[in-house]
Amino acid sequence: MSSAEYWRAYRQANKEKLAEEQRVRYQIKKEKIAERQKKYNQAHKAEIAAYDKVYNEVNREKRRAYYEANKERLNANRKAYREAHKDLMAQRYRAATLLHDFGLTVEEWEALYEKQQGKCAICQKSIERRWQSHTDHCHITGRVRGILCHHCNVGLGNFFDDASLLLKAVEYLRLEG
């Protein structure tokens, strides 16, 4: 048996094993390439931004014309994608909103929810539906204080997060009983 015949037979007999090894090598290579690309992008941020600005200015009319010529098809594709991936779109929107508004990841928010045992931080009523909860935060520092039910969140908002006003309201309630 010649060397070529041996390797041909080996590859045929070990197709799945060789394919798995190739997938692993590809994944490692893919991660290294992504890491290298990220480092490059960070090191050349200003250059990339300048290039993007020029590119967008030069191609703005082309892109606008393409969109106008294909508006119905593009919008239909976007709508179909959103319909087909409603759950994914909701998860992405929630993750982006938590990160943008509060600097929290979904995992950090979930940990806070579990720490509060799924209850409002003020009235301790159970918050069954997470979409009905409100992430309370200091409007000055941006620090997240806890998760509140709708009523407690509105109550704090109506007192402008001012502890002295809240204390006056408590005193009023005690006097007027």
Domain-embedded: residue 73: no
Phi-psi region of 2 (alpha: psi -120 to 50; beta: other; left: phi over 0): beta
Domain-embedded: residue 23: yes
User: pLDDT tens digits for 90-146?
Assistant: 999 999 999 999 999 999 999 999 999 999 999 999 998 777 899 999 888 889 999
| Residue 36: domain span | 3-43
Residue 108 is part of a domain; what is its CATH number? 3.40.1800.10
What percent of the chain shows pLDDT beyond 90?
78
Domain-embedded: residue 10: yes
pLDDT of res. 87: 94
SS3 177: coil
Domain-embedded: residue 55: no
| Domains: count for the chain | 2
User: pLDDT tens digits for 72-102?
Assistant: 999 999 999 999 999 999 999 999 999 999 9
